[in-house]
Structure 1
Amino acid sequence: MATEAVTHPTYGNWRRPRRPGLGPLGLIGTVGVFGGLVVVLLASLISLAAAVVVLVPLVIVIAPLALRTQDGRNLYQLLALRVGWFRRKSKGAHIYVSGPLSQRPGGRFRPPGLLNRVSASEGRDAYDRPFGVLHHRSRNLYSIVLGCEPDGGSLVDPDQVDVWVAMWGEWLARLSHEPGLRGASVIVETAPDPGTRLAAEVLPRIAEDAPPAARAVMEEVVRRYPSASSEMHTYITLTYGVPAGQKRKHEDVVNDLAIRLPGLLSGLVGAGGGAAYALSAERIAEVVRVAYDPAVAADVLSARAEHGGTGLEWDDAGPSACVESVKSYQHDSGYSRSWLLTLAPRGTVRSGVLRNMLEAAPGTRRKRVALLYRPIDPATSARIVEADRRSAQFMATSGRGMVQARAASEVRAAEQTAAEEASGAGLVEFSLMFTATVDSPDQLEEADVTVRNLLASSRISMRPADRMQAAAFSCTLPVGILPWEQTLIPHELQEAL
């Protein structure tokens, strides 16, 4: 009997964008080096002392650009991070207090930090279903939040999983053709199940004349089941921007988003997203409220089960008080710590590479994993892949030994990327952020160990978001915060550094 070898598809071929310039200097550093050498040569025509006087400051200024950490940050960027933290702390900006007894105008519980200038409204799609729209007034961006119930890979044929992965890749590729789309994010949130939904579903159905033994069994199931189970929520945010120089009314933008919603939701269903739907403004406010105060999660679920909603508004979704420190972020009843991606898994991986990270982690109250996507338009994609291909070929022909072997692997990856892009595949920049919330500061170290174990199983390298814990916490919420849109230095200039 002939046997056929079973092959399991693998994925990968992601590459960190190659920084233009000479070695680790970057484009700005390379221009500074060559420009400084010209000045030094001109000064040497005067005297050797003049050349030394020019050369020493040049080395002092350029050297920090060549010294980089594992994630590619130079000394200037590290210094800017510390200076920014010192300024926020000296001004008291790391402490936030809201509510009627605070000095905030209006006396309401508005979300802090990056969410302070965000307003929420609601629209209706083509099927007259409500959906929430978040307006980031500081950047004039609009975000919508989609919720879905993924089917998962348990008891599913591998062929079906491969189809879902392919459809998800196609859905991401379609985002590069979305007019005005600035970025997208996928947030998977896990938390212990409080049992509210199970109790609301089971207890009212128990008949009054039920046998005492049967009643006791059902009540015990309702009481004990949540201790060994968890709830998981998946949110997808899409953030759109208004073209520069173009003024559009808020109503026109909401109507435009309403037209696009059905197509986006149908694509998620085909990619294994299950029942996909758009979150209303009230539902978005509830998610943010529970993230800042995990202790009210059961109350929110109870109110939604009994009354069909909470009536919570965006202006009351924030915490009453929060304090940011170097390594953690305290907010109402929770203490959180966030991590940022430094290195994606090397080589090829299988479809379940992130399964351990996405599942509930012991010792944490809530956990969020945020995948951030920055789609690139087709014209820019072609230019990027061609530039990477030429750069990889140059490194392969100029290297020796082990460096040449790694460069040859870079050439194969660049050639494959160029061929896939030429055949119609999309190019997407991605990153990953991780936030773990616990009940007390003593549990933060245990959560740190748990996260390191999860990262090791997924072959991912991450670093703590020290001195920017509050901003990282906001970026892992399903509110459409894009890190590259929130920086003072433009994204293009940061790449040149």
Structure 2
Amino acid sequence: MTATRLYGNWLRPKTLNVRGLGWRGLLAVVGSYFFGLALLQSAPKAGLSLLLACLAVTSVAAIRVNGLGLGETLVGKGRWWWAQTSSSTRFLAVRSGSWALPGALHGTQMVPVEIAGRSYGAVHDARARRIAVTFELASTAADLTDQQDHDLSVGRWERWLEGLGRRPEIAWVNVTVETSPSMGGQLRENIHGRLSLFGPTDCTDLMRRLAEVSPTVAAKTTTRLTVVFDLRAWDAQVGGAGRRKGITSYLPVLDRSITSLAASLNGCGVSVLRIASADVLGGLVRAAFDPSAELQIELALATGERELPRWEMAGPSYAYEMRDHYVHDGATSVSFVWAQAPQQLVTSRVLDALMRPGQCRKRVTVTYVATPTHEAMDVATAQVRWRWFAQMIARLPIVGRATTAADDREAQAAEQATREVAAGAGWVSATVTATVTVLDPDALPSAVAELEHAAGASQLRLRRLYELQAAGFLVGLPVGLSLTELARRWSR
């Protein structure tokens, strides 16, 4: 009997941080602490005041608000205040007689790519000099696959992610699993719209019978992989003349990279159905902002009889961001980010509960950022070094604290990761975001509770993205955005 393969020891990226203080603040406090001890000998009152000030600073810095340090919380409050002051939390699509996209989507453009008989769409962000291409995937049914084969597919997926560290043109990849309840009438409309009048009578009768007995309520699950390319990595290949011509000069290089990536996904537990076209990308974005239009968009894509909106009109007609939710075209969404990975060893199916369809529309996105191969060892070693230094500072009186079992576990996990990187493994960072969307605002509390329960069953701890709801929503769209990058922006 083959033993079940287990996974664990995820590391949260760590810099020097003791009681909420970074290395600059910690250096100032430690220096003041030793100076206070020396001053205590000659001027007891002044020395004691300085030591008490050090204690006060470390106590305040240790305060946590919604899982964040006090400094991070104050910076977030500052960004939110600035967004409200500049009215960037409210969006109207019609501006000066033209249609615009919201937030980070503003300024992006859809680039149709037609090379070597292939046709697909790419979302180009000229300001960031990045371009994103989305693969539509079909995942292998895990319940119909032998556990050993399933673990082999997971291992190949790990190697695929590590291989991104050898491709400097790839900034990051987003893997999104989107589930939504769908009415059984959608299946009936799709079948009746595609039946041929010249087909065999027995076959058409069978299809009509199948549509009649289909369930009235069903669920739809889609999986997609968005690869974000950094155009600056191709500047040398394109040359100065090519750069002056614009994005079209980069498309042949982009297509070659896309072809090799699609081929390398074989054996990773998924199969590439197609590369999303410009119409599909626009439809996915429009349906995310306006879920009530999803049926009409899918029928338009299936039949081609209806005209889909241009990319500039794929966004919402209006949207406004509140501190704990995001309202867009009559729908309301709440976004979360993971605050803690599973603390114990788990199987490869640990996320099944989170990915399973629920009562409401749900979108779970995992953003993978691969560290360049030549930097992986330095990053892994830095994690061990920072933890060792933090433990050393933690032993000091006043500024220190007692070492916990969690600290020892993290130190062991960091050392294990360093040994694995030394043996040839890569270093990949991951961020999980989840968004739930409802049409009825009264159903929002139950939808949030369902999502949090599913995350708990998957042994994840989620944190609501207070004051970053619009960013959390946009990350799950097939446009190639990263929450880490959006969280640093002061503008919406």
* TM-score after normalising by structure 2: 0.85
Distance, in Å, in 1 between the alignment partners of 2:475 and 2:201 is 51
Distance, in Å, in 2 between the alignment partners of 1:442 and 1:451 is 16
Return the match for 1:105 from 96, 101, 112.
96
CA contact (8 A) 2:162 2:427 kept: yes
State the one-letter code of the partner of 2:349. Answer: G
Once the two structures are superposed, the pairs formed by residues 174-253 of structure 1 within 5 Å of their partners are 174-194=163-183, 195-196=185-186, 199-201=189-191, 204-205=194-195, 219=208, 221-222=210-211, 225=214, 227-243=216-232, 248=243, 249-253=246-250
> Which residue in the other structure is 1:168 paired with?
157
Distance, in Å, in 2 between the alignment partners of 1:308 and 1:418 is 56
Q: Deviations over 1:171-196 (max 9, x none)?
A: 10111111232211101111123453
- CA change 1:411–1:487 in 2 (3 A) is closer
**How far is 1:380 from its partner?**
2.2
- CA change 1:134–1:41 in 2 (3 A) is farther
Distance, in Å, in 2 between the alignment partners of 1:308 and 1:107 is 26
Distance, in Å, in 2 between the alignment partners of 1:162 and 1:183 is 24
**How far is 1:333 from its partner?**
3.1
Aligned residues: 474
- CA change 1:409–1:66 in 2 (3 A) is closer
- CA change 1:285–1:46 in 2 (3 A) is farther
Is 1:316 aligned to residue 313 of structure 2?
Answer: yes
Distance, in Å, in 2 between the alignment partners of 1:92 and 1:398 is 44
**How far is 1:346 from its partner?**
0.9
* TM-score after normalising by structure 1: 0.84
> Which residue in the other structure is 1:257 paired with?
254
> Which residue in the other structure is 1:121 paired with?
111
> Which residue in the other structure is 1:136 paired with?
125
> Which residue in the other structure is 1:156 paired with?
145
- CA change 1:199–1:87 in 2 (3 A) is same
> Which residue in the other structure is 1:479 paired with?
479
The DSSP-based 3-state class of the residue aligned with 2:267 is helix
Distance, in Å, in 2 between the alignment partners of 1:94 and 1:21 is 32
CA contact (8 A) 1:64 1:74 kept: no
Q: Deviations over 1:145-183 (max 9, x none)?
A: 221111221211112211210111111011111123221
- CA change 1:337–1:317 in 2 (3 A) is same
Q: Which runs of 5+ in 2 are unaligned?
A: 396-401
> Which residue in the other structure is 1:441 paired with?
441
Is 1:461 aligned to residue 461 of structure 2?
Answer: yes
CA contact (8 A) 1:197 1:301 kept: no
Q: Deviations over 1:360-391 (max 9, x none)?
A: 112x1x21000011111123210122233455
Q: Deviations over 1:44-95 (max 9, x none)?
A: 8996676678777776666543333574x21121122223223322333222
Q: Deviations over 1:219-270 (max 9, x none)?
A: 5642563533211111111222244996744223332211101111112232
Is 1:82 aligned to residue 82 of structure 2?
Answer: no
Distance, in Å, in 2 between the alignment partners of 1:51 and 1:139 is 51
The DSSP-based 3-state class of the residue aligned with 2:227 is strand
State the one-letter code of the partner of 2:442. Answer: D
Return the match for 2:357 from 352, 357, 360.
360
Distance, in Å, in 2 between the alignment partners of 1:106 and 1:367 is 34
The DSSP-based 3-state class of the residue aligned with 1:230 is strand
Return the match for 2:61 from 65, 84, 87.
65
Distance, in Å, in 1 between the alignment partners of 2:212 and 2:330 is 24
CA contact (8 A) 1:119 1:135 kept: yes
Distance, in Å, in 2 between the alignment partners of 1:208 and 1:308 is 20
State the one-letter code of the partner of 1:233. Answer: T
CA contact (8 A) 2:234 2:250 kept: no
Distance, in Å, in 2 between the alignment partners of 1:201 and 1:218 is 7
> Which residue in the other structure is 1:342 paired with?
339
**How far is 1:197 from its partner?**
5.1
**How far is 1:306 from its partner?**
1.8
Distance, in Å, in 2 between the alignment partners of 1:245 and 1:58 is 50
Is 1:11 aligned to residue 3 of structure 2?
Answer: no
Distance, in Å, in 2 between the alignment partners of 1:403 and 1:56 is 23
> Which residue in the other structure is 1:429 paired with?
429
Percent of residue pairs identical: 25
- CA change 1:399–1:482 in 2 (3 A) is closer
